[in-house]
């Protein structure tokens, strides 16, 4: 990659940073600061043996700003509380995070912790009994919905008591309670009801099912009264989208042009330094090369920025032109029936 191309790439990256909204960057900083504060609070609580108070703080810290240390401490905290499934999942999340960031040593350490914990996991499998129709069947575990894809699969759960319920509209609900506490065991719950099927929808009336010669009723064409929503104007939607895109493109072009001005100013500053070279001063060819690179980058950014501004302005004007287009629909009575008259204006 040549120096001018590198400079242009750096300029584009700088333009992107300048274009990103400041409130979003400030919000990200606040989230990171809050996550760090919660992490420190949780560490103090673990030293005091207050794991039930520390775990929620570790969890919220990891949610606000995912970090390997927060996830590993969260997993260890869950282990101390006997919540083996939650601890195992936290170790797996920590391993995935470290792997994605290229931290192989950390990923291996977290994966080993998860592997050591896996044989102690308690699993719960929910099955459908014979004669139970899965159509529109809602299954819950401790009042929380169970994903239909998990029905019939043994999933890790924290040791404890669970209430499994199944319901369907128009049928008597079914429920049962189980205790899953023995490490390494899988508890199977078979849903025995409701056995009733979901009520079938009434079939639509067949065309021409009325008396011979009868004409099916048709909805009269009418204009909606004031306050009632009208049909969507697709031409207006297209114009609005074009205007939004035009403003965005022109704004990006303006940012690129400003960035090109910065590079032009840098090149001019170096050139001014050479203008005032005193006799006997050492000539620096690297600075001259840098000045040429800045000048080339400025030309590239100005050209791209100007093209973006022109393209954005064109898109905006096309959007305004599209808004002038419209579609009108009016009833047009005909002998023996009715029709609709469509008018297009441009």
- What is the pLDDT at residue 53? 97
Tokens of 148: 């239909």
Give the residue extent of every domain in the chain: 20-119, 122-191, 234-276+284-324
For the chain, which ranges sit under pLDDT 70? Answer: 1-26, 195-239, 270-289, 322-346
- What is the pLDDT at residue 7? 56
pLDDT in tens, 149-188: 999 999 999 999 999 999 999 889 999 999 999 999 999 9
Tokens of 124: 């719960």
Q: Tokens 């420190």 identify what position?
A: 40
Residue partners of 21: CB distance under 8 A and separation at least 6? none
Backbone φ, ψ for residue 264 (5° rounding): -65, -40
CA angle centred on 180, ends 178 and 185, rounded to 5°: 125
Q: H or E stretch including 176?
A: strand 174-180
Residue 27 CA to residue 104 CA, distance in Å, equals: 31
- What is the pLDDT at residue 52? 97
- What is the pLDDT at residue 340? 46
Residues 60 and 70 sit within 8 Å (Cβ to Cβ): no
- What is the pLDDT at residue 9? 57
- Architecture, CATH, for domain 122-191: Sandwich (2.60)
CATH of segment(s) 20-119? 1.25.40.10
- What is the pLDDT at residue 248? 85
């Amino acid at each position: 990659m040549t120096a001018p191309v590198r400079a242009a790439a750096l300029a584009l990256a700088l333009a992107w940073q300048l274009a990103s909204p400041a409130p979003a960057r400030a919000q990200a900083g606040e989230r990171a600061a809050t996550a760090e504060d919660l992490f420190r609070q949780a560490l103090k609580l673990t030293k005091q043996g207050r794991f039930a108070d520390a775990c929620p703080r570790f969890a919220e810290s990891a949610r606000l700003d995912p970090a390997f240390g927060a996830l590993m401490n969260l997993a260890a905290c869950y282990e101390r509380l006997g919540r083996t499934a939650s601890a195992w999942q936290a170790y797996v999340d920590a391993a995935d995070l470290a792997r994605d960031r290229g931290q192989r040593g950390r990923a291996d350490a977290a994966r080993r912790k998860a592997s050591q914990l896996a044989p102690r996991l308690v699993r719960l499998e929910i099955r459908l009994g014979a004669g139970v129709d899965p159509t529109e069947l809602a299954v819950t575990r401790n009042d929380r919905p169970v994903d239909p894809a998990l029905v019939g699969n043994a999933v890790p759960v924290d040791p404890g008591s669970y209430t499994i319920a199944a319901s369907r509209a128009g049928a008597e609900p079914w429920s049962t309670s189980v205790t899953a506490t023995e490490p390494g065991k899988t508890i199977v719950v078979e849903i025995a009801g409701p056995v009733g099927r979901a009520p079938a929808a009434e079939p639509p009336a067949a065309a021409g099912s009325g008396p011979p010669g009868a004409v099916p009723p048709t909805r009269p064409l009418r204009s909606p009264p004031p306050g009632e929503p009208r049909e969507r104007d697709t031409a207006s939607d297209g114009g609005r989208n074009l205007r939004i895109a035009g403003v965005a493109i022109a704004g990006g072009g303006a940012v690129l042009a400003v960035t090109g001005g910065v590079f032009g100013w840098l090149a001019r500053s170096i050139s001014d330094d050479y203008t005032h070279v005193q006799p006997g001063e050492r000539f620096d060819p690297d600075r001259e090369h840098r000045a040429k690179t800045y000048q080339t980058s400025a030309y590239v950014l100005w050209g791209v920025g100007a093209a973006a501004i022109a393209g954005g302005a064109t898109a905006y004007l096309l959007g305004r032109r599209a808004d002038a287009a419209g579609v009108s629909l009016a009833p047009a009575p005909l002998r023996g029936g009715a029709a609709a008259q469509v008018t297009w204006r441009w």
